[in-house]
Amino acid sequence: MYQYTQHYINGQWVDSTGDETIDVINPATEEKIGEISSGTKEDLDKAVQAARDAFPDFSQTTKEERAALLDRIADEYEKRKDKFIEVIMAELGSPVTFTKEVQYPMGLNHFRTAAKLVRDFAFIEERENSFIQKDAIGVAGLITPWNFPTNQTSTKLASAFAAGSTVVLKPSTETPFAAILLTEVFEAAGVPKGVFNLVNGTGSTIGDGISSHPDIDFVSFTGSGGVGTKIMENAAQDIKKVSLELGGKSPIVVLDDADVDYAAKTAISHIAGNTGQVCTAGTRALVPKSMHDDFIEAIKSHISEYPVGDPKDESTFTGPQVSEEQWKTVQDYIQKGIDSGATLVTGGTGKPEGLETGYYSKLTVFTDVKADDTIAQEEIFGPVLSVITYKDLDEAIDIANGTIYGLAGYVVGNNPDTVTHVAKSLRSGRIVVNNEKSDFTAPFGGFKQSGIGREWGDYGIEEFLEPKTIVGLPK
């Protein structure tokens, strides 16, 4: 049992002022694996005060000192590799192989990348007659979701520390233990007291409290659009800056010269990876009409290479949804797809055979989906793919850009001119051609309702800074 009913405030673990707790469930077994405290507004106030008190000193540290701190954090993170893997598997139901290869290193990479980039970061710029100094923004409130328990927290924390901002973190109640392990990392790395504060609790109390807190200068949020709207409304009251990383409905544009098997496997891996619980997942495969039948055959022949099952099994590719609530949402969308008249290629409602315990869904692929169908427009956050055909590239680009989202886009194909044309035409924050590996130094974030602001690398650091122009500074 993971029993963590305290908050981390001003460099120490302290009791909550409330006595309510929240159970944490392993979605693969449906068993309770631990509990956390449901924090109160009083707990949050204490944490904000600690961050406020720590700000003057921390914001004046040199970038070399902060780079060294980030490297020590990365070192301590690496020492706890096995613990991170165990915790993420237990609280998220994340399959062991995916946890080792994706979840674990993503959190680590943000700290290493920030350490490297901050050393060369220009905190001071001189123009014709002005001197521009980038000051840390102040106290940042960080609110994170459950789908990448160390990635979503680490990108915000690494940027904040690099910039010299102090923070209060509220992680998701579904996956709080990875954040508790991060706290252990920060203590071991010597993060000064008050620079990092952790308050566990619900979104409606602690999350809402952060976005409306008069002593918080900036809210960095990752999660759903609905909550993003509430955060903006609260933040608007005192003109608090917000950064929002929200949902997506990203297209995979398959070109007519693509290898069909490669394209089909790319599409399946998008809905199967992290059980489709990825904001950048490619969930709409746009294929040329002439390729449609071969593409569907390739989906059918490769789907078994992405087995759904026990996260502890090395061969499992896809685990359960994070919670019963998410499972029900996914089931509702699959039913909506069936009701809309789309053709079910594989999967469907219900649990896969033999997986009655645990919040498992079937890998589900629909074809004959119309571009404006609900399942092709709304984020499902589960293993559901919509295949849509297009007659020419203009139509493909129109369909690709035809949602309220703009987080990511994917292009699969070979002709360099066509690939370039499509990649440059997509209205999204991150385009990936032929499964190229990620770049942690490059900005991450969304156009349109996928969000505001950017994370990762130097763009992420900028979010935690305020540029100050001084004209007429004596030389």
Active site (catalytic) residues:
245, 279
- Distance from C-alpha of 77 to C-alpha of 125, rounded to nearest angstrom: 33
Nearer to ligand NAP, 220 or 318 (CB): 220
Stretch that binds ligand NAP, among 199-207, 423-431, 434-442, 457-465 (CB under 6 A): 199-207
Cβ pair 134, 467 in contact under 8 A: yes
Kindly state whether residue 151 participates in binding ligand NAP, applying the rule CB under 6 A.
no
Stretch that binds ligand NAP, among 104-112, 137-145, 159-167, 358-366 (CB under 6 A): 137-145
Nearer to ligand NAP, 61 or 202 (CB): 202
Give the shortest CB-313-to-ligand NAP separation in angstroms: 25
- Distance from C-alpha of 237 to C-alpha of 234, rounded to nearest angstrom: 6
Nearer to ligand NAP, 105 or 451 (CB): 451
Stretch that binds ligand NAP, among 24-32, 53-61, 139-147, 255-263 (CB under 6 A): 139-147
Count of residues that interact with ligand NAP, criterion CB under 6 A: 29
Determine which residue in the list 379, 458, 462, 463 makes contact with ligand NAP, applying CB under 6 A: 379
Determine which residue in the list 150, 153, 172, 243 makes contact with ligand NAP, applying CB under 6 A: 172
Kindly state whether residue 27 participates in binding ligand NAP, applying the rule CB under 6 A.
no
Determine which residue in the list 27, 107, 149, 203 makes contact with ligand NAP, applying CB under 6 A: 203
Determine which residue in the list 109, 147, 166, 403 makes contact with ligand NAP, applying CB under 6 A: 147
Closest CA to 281 of 289, 293, 290, 272: 272
Kindly state whether residue 145 participates in binding ligand NAP, applying the rule CB under 6 A.
yes
Nearer to ligand NAP, 6 or 211 (CB): 211
Q: Number of helices (H) and strands (E), helices first, in the chain?
A: 16, 21
Is beta strand 21-26 parallel, antiparallel or unpaired with respect to 31-37? Answer: antiparallel
Query: What's the sign of the alpha-carbon dihedral 270, 272, 273, 276?
Result: positive
- Distance from C-alpha of 308 to C-alpha of 313, rounded to nearest angstrom: 10
Task: Return the SS3 of 243.
Answer: strand
- Distance from C-alpha of 286 to C-alpha of 371, rounded to nearest angstrom: 10
- Distance from C-alpha of 434 to C-alpha of 193, rounded to nearest angstrom: 45
Chain centre distance of CA 51: 24
Kindly state whether residue 143 participates in binding ligand NAP, applying the rule CB under 6 A.
yes
Stretch that binds ligand NAP, among 42-50, 90-98, 204-212, 307-315 (CB under 6 A): 204-212
Give the shortest CB-246-to-ligand NAP separation in angstroms: 5
Nearer to ligand NAP, 223 or 288 (CB): 223
| Position 221, amino acid | F
Nearer to ligand NAP, 247 or 282 (CB): 247
The site string for ligand NAP over 65-94 (x = CB under 6 A, - otherwise) reads: ------------------------------
Nearer to ligand NAP, 44 or 263 (CB): 44
- Distance from C-alpha of 30 to C-alpha of 453, rounded to nearest angstrom: 36
Cβ pair 148, 32 in contact under 8 A: no
Give the shortest CB-172-to-ligand NAP separation in angstroms: 4
Kindly state whether residue 448 participates in binding ligand NAP, applying the rule CB under 6 A.
no
Nearer to ligand NAP, 147 or 331 (CB): 147
| Position 53, amino acid | D
Task: Return the SS3 of 387.
Answer: strand
**Which string of DSSP letters, residue by residue, matches 165-233?**
-EEEEE--SSS-HHHHHHHHHHHHHTPPTTTEEE----IIIIIHHHHT-TT--EEEEES-HHHHHHHHH
The site string for ligand NAP over 208-247 (x = CB under 6 A, - otherwise) reads: x--x----------xxx--x--xx-------------xxx
Residues 6+ apart with CB under 8 A from 300: 345, 346
Determine which residue in the list 133, 202, 377, 418 makes contact with ligand NAP, applying CB under 6 A: 202
Closest CA to 263 of 241, 292, 235: 292
Binding site for ligand NAP (CB under 6 A): 143-147, 152, 170, 172-173, 202-204, 207-208, 211, 222-224, 227, 230-231, 245-247, 279, 379, 381, 407, 451
